[in-house]
Every structure is written in C-alpha cells, then in structure tokens.
Amino acid sequence: MDTTTKPKQNEEKIKSINQRFLSALDDFKKYYVFYNKNPEVDEYSNNFQNSKNQLQGLSGEMYSLTNNIQKNIKVLADEMSDISKKLNIEKGKNNKYEKTLSGLKGTESGSNILISNTKEEYIISYILNTVLFAGILFILALMLPTKFSYGLIIIALIYIYKTGLFTTFLSIIRKM
C-alpha cells in the first residue's frame, strides 16, 4: 500500500464530497420547503426527490470512503504489528549479541591479566634460577682453594650484574 498518496487522495475525496454535500443540502432545504408548501407541483416534487437522492448518494460515497479508510487503517495496523514483532525479534538478537560482546570483552581482559601474570611468573622463575646459579657459584667458591674462589666470586658478580638481576629483583619487590 502506498502510504503517502492514499491519505492525500482520501482527503481530496472528503473535501469534494463535503463541498458537494453542502451544495446539495442547500438545494434540499430549498426544495423541501417548496415541496411541503406545494406538494402537488411536480417540478418541486422532482427537485426535492433529486436533491434527496443526491444527499443519499453523497452519504453513500462518504460511507464507502469511510469503509476504505477503515480497511487501510486495519492494513496499516497489521503491518505495524508485523514490524513490531520483527523489531522485538531483532531486539532479542541484539541483546544476545551484546551479551556475547561483553563476554568477549571480559575474556579479552582476562586474557590480558593471564598474560601479565604469566610474564611476572616467568620473571620470578628467571630471577630464582639466576640466584640459584649465582649461589652455586658462591658455594663452589667457598669449597675451592682461595685462588679459584676469588675468580668464581668475581664471575658470579659479573654474571649477576650483566643479567640485570638486581634491578629486576628490586622492581618485582617494589610491585609486591
């Protein structure tokens, strides 16, 4: 149904019927008076009957137009109902998609947290292994004769310095 031209056409028809109705009503009033004063004059009788028929015809046109408008309103109401149902279905889908999206965003945040935690655990394991290695070097230095022990202690200190163990260890301690 064309929803833009139908109302305009109906409005034009109503205006036309209204104008013709007013003219026919004036004729009816005039001929009613003439007919009632002189019922025996055929001309008045015919004019009265014609104006009466014209009013009934216009009334029938208005009734028919009103029925058509009611049918159009029903069709539009049915279409709006269908659109409303489809819209509700789409709203349900949208809510489902929004929940999925928020779950994915939550998963993304959880993944970032897990990655961050894993990095911290790796750094802590790295520091512990490095400290363990340096401790083994120190213990070996204590067990060996003095010439070798000084060398191992120097190697352990250089190793700790080069690996950045102290700065990494201090940054992790600050976070805790």
- pLDDT-derived band at 94, boundaries 50, 70, 90: very high
The answer on pLDDT for 169 being more than 70 is no
CB–CB of 48/31 below 8 Å?
yes
The answer on pLDDT for 26 being more than 80 is yes
Give pLDDT tens digits for 63-76: 999 999 999 899 99
Select from 99, 164, 159, 109 the least CA-distant residue to 133: 159
Residues 6+ apart with CB under 8 A from 20: 54, 58
CA dist 45 and 23 (Å) reads: 18
The pLDDT of residue 91: 93
164 SS3 class: coil
End-to-end alpha carbon distance in the chain: 72
- The whole-model pTM stands at 0.51
Give pLDDT tens digits for 103-128: 766 666 777 777 888 888 888 887 78
The answer on pLDDT for 170 being more than 70 is no
CA dist 60 and 82 (Å) reads: 33
To the nearest 10°, report the CA torsion of 8, 14, 17, 19: -90
- The lowest-confidence range among 44-48, 75-79, 164-168 is 164-168
Select from 165, 167, 175, 172 the least CA-distant residue to 129: 165
CA dist 91 and 97 (Å) reads: 10
The answer on pLDDT for 151 being more than 80 is no
Domain spans in the chain, listed from the N-terminal domain onward: 5-111, 113-175
